[in-house]
Amino acid sequence: MRRRTRRRRRRTVSINKIAFLCLILSIIIVCGVFSFPPNALSSKTEQNVTKTYSSESETVKINTEKNKSEIQSAASILFSGYSDISKAELKAKELLSEASNNGKIISEDYSSKNATLALGSLYVRNTTKNNSINMEAYLKKSVIANISKNKPVALIYHTHSSESYQITENDFYSDSLVADFETLGIIRVGDALCSAIESHGYKVIHDRTVYDTSYSGAFERSRKNVADVLRKNPSIQVVIDLHRDSITRKDGSRVKTVTEIGGKKVAQIQIITGCEEGAVKDFPNWEKNLTFALRLQKSISDSHPNAVRPLLFCARKYNMDLVPCALNIEIGTDANTVREAVYSAEILGNSISELIKECEKK
């Protein structure tokens, strides 16, 4: 009896050991699924999955970058200072294939064309009969005084308010691609000029009145309103009647006066000032206007030599007798784009501000 009992106990112990080992082995197998490296087949499968996922990830990344680029491009148009111009350009390009061709556009550098006088990079075209110009003597003078940053120092207006530009740059002029003068014409360029001056801390009045509902009598109408503005704002020292030129050749082609500055095409600026001569009377301060004109011409020429055409000195008045620093200024021609004209206005505004600043210090 005792022997049998012992044998049964030994068998029980052996079975318990086997069960315990099986339990341990099961635990090891289960843990191995989660912690041990996969076999060769599993590894190959995982590599395929990873490769597929990476490919999809790359596609998502490329699409995201593309969307990001498109969003940034759209944002730059919407929030830049030229958003209105950019939108008009995009729309005009869509209509380009249907646009009318009304003559060839010829781009020319007018920085010294037709000049009669030169001093370094400073050019003047004197069309008067009896008045000579000693440029060095005039450049030593100053006419701006009593500057106050708390009150308007400059007035910008447009006798020919409906003058406009091409929307996009092409090698042909198109009547169907002329910018709307009310939004992208000379008044829009005047906005850019005002902003440039104001960025230097000076207050500016921009008269946006349309005076050329009929071309005849425009100067008389603008004169009346400008005189009223000056009476109400005696602090104004500088008055600019901002225009746009037009140069058409006999064959119908149109000239745009342009240069390149900092990688941008810029419409060239022409400063016009007058004098008493012949039928031009009652212009006692014309020499002060000439002084201011020459100083401004030199200021632009020193920083951007090709941005200006020769200063035009002529026997005209053009309301420039109202204050000593009143000028008629033309930016580009009808063949220039509004963007090119706006760039020029910014250059002009910075140079006007520099002159005001110099006189303010004195």
What are the beta bridge partners of residue 308? 269
Closest to 338 (Cα-Cα) out of 203, 222, 182, 201? 182
Give residue-wise pLDDT tens across range 303-346. 998 999 999 999 999 999 999 999 999 999 999 999 999 999 99
Closest to 187 (Cα-Cα) out of 212, 166, 206? 206
Give residue-wise pLDDT tens across range 236-252. 999 999 999 999 999 99
pTM: 0.77
Rounded to a whole number of angstroms, the CA Rg of the chain reads 38
Would you state the pLDDT for residue 198?
96
User: Do β-strands 269-274 and 152-157 pair in parallel, antiparallel, or remain unpaired?
Assistant: unpaired
**Burial class of 332 by CB neighbour count within 10 A (0 to 12, 13 to 18, 19+):** buried
Would you state the pLDDT for residue 242?
98
Q: How far from 271 is each of 107, 127, 260, 332, 354, CA to CA, in Å? A: 20, 14, 19, 11, 17
Provide, rounded to the nearest whole percent, the portion of the chain with pLDDT above 90: 69
Give residue-wise pLDDT tens across range 65-113. 444 444 344 433 333 478 999 999 999 999 898 999 999 999 999 999 9
How many CB atoms are located within 10 Å of the residue 179 CB?
24
pLDDT at 149 over 50: yes
Q: Which residues contact 284 (CB under 8 A, 6 or more apart)?
A: 276, 321
**Burial class of 4 by CB neighbour count within 10 A (0 to 12, 13 to 18, 19+):** exposed
Would you state the pLDDT for residue 105?
97
pLDDT band at residue 44 using 50, 70 and 90 as cut-offs? very low
